[in-house]
Chains A and B, each alone.
Chain A
Amino acid sequence: MNIIQAKKLTHDYRKVGDDGETETSCRALDNVDLDVAPGQFIAILGHNGSGKSTLAKHLNAILTPTDGTVWVDGMDTRDAEKLNAIRQTAGMVFQNPDNQIIGTVVDEDVAFGPENMGIPTEEILERVENSLKTVGMWEYRDRSPNRLSGGQKQRVAIAGVMAMEPKCIVLDEPTAMLDPVGRREVIRAAQKLNREKQVTILLITHYMEEVTEADRVIVMDQGKILMQGTPREVFSRVEELKEHRLDVPQVTMLAHELRKSGLPVPEGVLTVQELAESLIAASRRAV
């Protein structure tokens, strides 16, 4: 069974005018179909306003569909009785690290979720240790979150979600406010969670470099899925991505340009090494 399934998911934001009567509505998601198998690492890309954050909010029932259906581990998100179960299945990590930490000490903060679920103390301690070790923040367990860097705070937030042992974690632009080192730390923590604990990850981001290792990349535009596939498939469509003013990693762009100029470089190059190797090979052949 799919951990996440959306069928013809449509969402309209309604806005009531100043007179309290006239209503305008804006379609944020338009007939989106999505299937995510357990254990996958999915990256969702798109502009501000493309609908990606709205989609994320449907995956743990912060929003419910205007039309269509979303199932989280088989539970319909419109089923109010399942709300807690849904949110324990799909955890969320948001963009701003300062808005989602509530504890005064790191380990207390991580314990907050499982405590609220009524988990026995012994097990909470175990989970806290486990989660903090996975994200590499165990040494900071008795620190105040105030004095951590943005990347460290985000990793604590991830540990907090992880301690609830969700099957799936949705990260909504978790790195947008971080520096390059913090970004790398957070992405590595998410990848580790996926590989070692088989947690399904949905990573929403602007940064193309962060998605090159995903199992599948989904590109959203104007509330619809514009393209999806492996990172290589998606990044082979450079012209199309550029048309939608989406970023392409510098190496992918360079490879694409060289290929257009007739050099034997594969399409959809994702790493520096890959491009360098193909050019070195071409250079040897040219001798």
Chain B
Amino acid sequence: MPIRTEHLNYIYNPGTAYEKQALSDIDLELPDGQFVGIIGHTGSGKSTLIQHLNGLVRATSGTVWYNGEDIYREGYSMKELRSKVGLVFQYPEYQLFEVDVFTDVCFGPKNLGLSKEETEARASEALRQVGLGEEYYKKSPFELSGGQKRRAAIAGILAMQPEVLILDEPTAGLDPHGRDEILDQIQKLHRERGITVVLVSHSMEDIARYVERIIVMEKGRVRFDDTPKKVFEHYRELEQIGLAAPQVTYVMQTLRGAGMDIDLAATTVEEAKASILNYFQKKAQEG
């Protein structure tokens, strides 16, 4: 279901010496089924923003609409909203607390008031979706590797069968293998179930590979909101706000600067390769 924010403002510690405007006038629309990336320097407001999307933080002013309904209206069920908009925090593995993996994943659906059968069916399904088989069900969370723990934590959210899945830096601290596993699983979920995915990340290379839209946050505002190709064209401005475009962007810009006719919009290795090879082929034909 679509989420929309309207003139969203959030101020931390208002009226004190630590007063800080974390979000300024955010107007965003997240349609169904999109795979969206949010990037920004630490302190740019990205984590604060996503915590508004499931009502965890209440805006100082402005509104959040979920499926056309004002979530701040009296009597609106935040509990239901939070089961629909699943939020996976940074380092979610710190939130595993049950004796074994399966029980932990059951916690969410159980609290939704579902029957034991339904709860367990959902937990099994969620664990399957993150690639953790039955051999892990009875393991203590402490026996898992970092990447497995994180997948178990994500399964805990999936078991609530959210319509929107928001992940705050799901790959932080993981090695490349663990990172690929998590992102590939998320991509698969997005494709199979058509859920909306919002991915907060520092890694431009990851973002370029997976998302269809990038929202760049700076000092509590939306600085850019477009397709990855369009956003990375602003690579100089991205640098100024402490971000960077993927390495490939710099290669392509340098080549174009030297007068070579290549595709500036390439952001992945595959796209860059195709464009550069195409350039040399054309050159050979002309020669």
Contact = CB atoms under 8 A, between A and B. Distances in A.
B115 interface: no
A247 B176 CA distance: 6
Given A251-B248, A272-B247, A279 B260 contact: yes
Nearest to A272: B250
B287 interface: yes
Interface stretch (B67-75, B96-104, B158-166, B272-280): B272-280
B269 A206 contact: no
A245 B177 CA distance: 6
A20 interface: no
B202 A180 contact: yes
Most chain B Cβ neighbours within 10 Å, of A254, A273, A280: A254
Contact of A48 (B175, B247, B276, B284): B175
A149 interface: yes
Contacts of A150: 42
B251 interface: yes
Contacts of B41: 179, 181
Nearest to A150: B42
A49 B272 CA distance: 33
A250 B269 contact: yes
Given A182-B42, A258-B276, A253 B269 contact: yes
Main SS of the interface on chain B?
helix
A150 B42 CA distance: 9
Interface string B244-287: 10111011001100101000000001001100110110011001
A249 B247 contact: yes
A180 B241 CA distance: 11
Contacts of B254: 272-273, 276, 280
B283 A286 contact: yes
A245 B147 CA distance: 14
A257 B269 contact: yes
A254 B175 contact: no
Nearest to A173: B173
B145 A287 contact: no
A232 interface: no
Interface residues of A, number: 37
Interface string A248-274: 011101100110010100000000110
B251 A254 contact: yes
Given A258-B273, A263-B280, A272 B178 contact: no
A176 interface: yes
B172 interface: yes
B202 A283 contact: no
A177 interface: yes
A100 to B, nearest CB: 16
Given A176-B172, A246-B176, A254-B247, 20 more contacts: A46-B175, A47-B175, A47-B176, A48-B147, A95-B173, A173-B173, A179-B42, A180-B202, A180-B242, A206-B176, A245-B176, A253-B269, A263-B276, A263-B280, A275-B251, A276-B254, A276-B258, A279-B255, A280-B258, A287-B283
Interface of B: 41-43, 145-147, 172-178, 180, 202, 205, 242-244, 246-248, 250-251, 254-255, 258, 260, 269, 272-273, 276-277, 279-280, 283-284, 287
18 contacts: A47-B175, A176-B172, A180-B244, A206-B174, A206-B176, A245-B180, A246-B176, A251-B248, A254-B269, A258-B273, A261-B277, A272-B247, A272-B250, A272-B254, A273-B254, A276-B254, A276-B258, A283-B260
